[in-house]
Amino acid sequence: MGNAYLLAYNSALTLGWGYVLFLTLKEVTAGGWSKEVYEATSVPLKISQTAAVLEIVHSVMGIVKSPFFTTFIQVLSRIWALWGLVAVAPEACSTGAVTLLAVGHSKLQLSYVTLMLCWSLSEILRYGFYAAKELGHVPYPLLWLRYSAFLVLYPFGVGSEMTMARLAMPVIHDRGLLSLRMPNALNYSFDYYWFCWVAVACYLPGLPQLYLYMLKQRKRVLGPASKPKAA
């Protein structure tokens, strides 16, 4: 038996993200889409995603061996996507979409729904894997999914996060959300719209590094020289 705290933490977030996935699928199968999924998942999403901040603390304190930089970038990018975009402009993020491909009447779109599907599936696998490690045994199917599902979920998840930026930023600009205009008592101005552009510019270079890091981990764990066991 591993660390009881880490077991409880990872198990709780596996369940939390499982609930987000359940609510997403429930709304979609009932005929709803982004608006309905947002209304159903908003609270459990905010709780589950914000709890990931503790992963940075775990890394700093040495509770886990995860590299600080990759952990920090991964957590910070999602916290910004949630609290800096979706929570700031929920109407835009929960009603719009970006079309990647259209064939006849069929469309491949990125939206809040794809964001929830990618985030919840990836986190269920990740936290479930960590919880299983604390129990001392990781079933090989879970190990394989942990180091393989990201090949699809990661690019679609990042694309969905950028879709939230595409949908939210015009609203942030038009309404001056989270911005401080002159004149004011502080004699200081801040334009959150341009901060978002800076965040996107900083966001994108770090994401390939995370993807390459996961590819290296996948090769190490699932490569020809590895054995079907937790690593």
Read off the pLDDT of residues 46-103 as tens digits, 9 standing for 90 and up.
Answer: 999 999 999 999 999 999 988 898 899 889 999 999 999 999 999 999 999 999 989 8
Residue 142 clears pLDDT 60, i.e. is over it: yes
pLDDT of residue 223: 84
Neighbours of 174 (CB within 10 A): 10
**What mean pLDDT do residues 23-32 have?**
97
Q: How far apart are CA 192 and CA 73, in angstroms?
A: 20
Q: What is the pTM of this model?
A: 0.92
**What mean pLDDT do residues 192-211 have?**
89
As given in the structure block, the two tokens for residue 74 are 């991964």
93 close to 167: Cβ distance less than 8 angstroms: yes
Q: How far apart are CA 38 and CA 94, in angstroms?
A: 6
Dihedral (Cα; 72, 77, 83, 85), 10-degree rounding? 160
Catalytic residues: 154, 161
Residue 206 clears pLDDT 80, i.e. is over it: no
Q: How far apart are CA 132 and CA 189, in angstroms?
A: 49
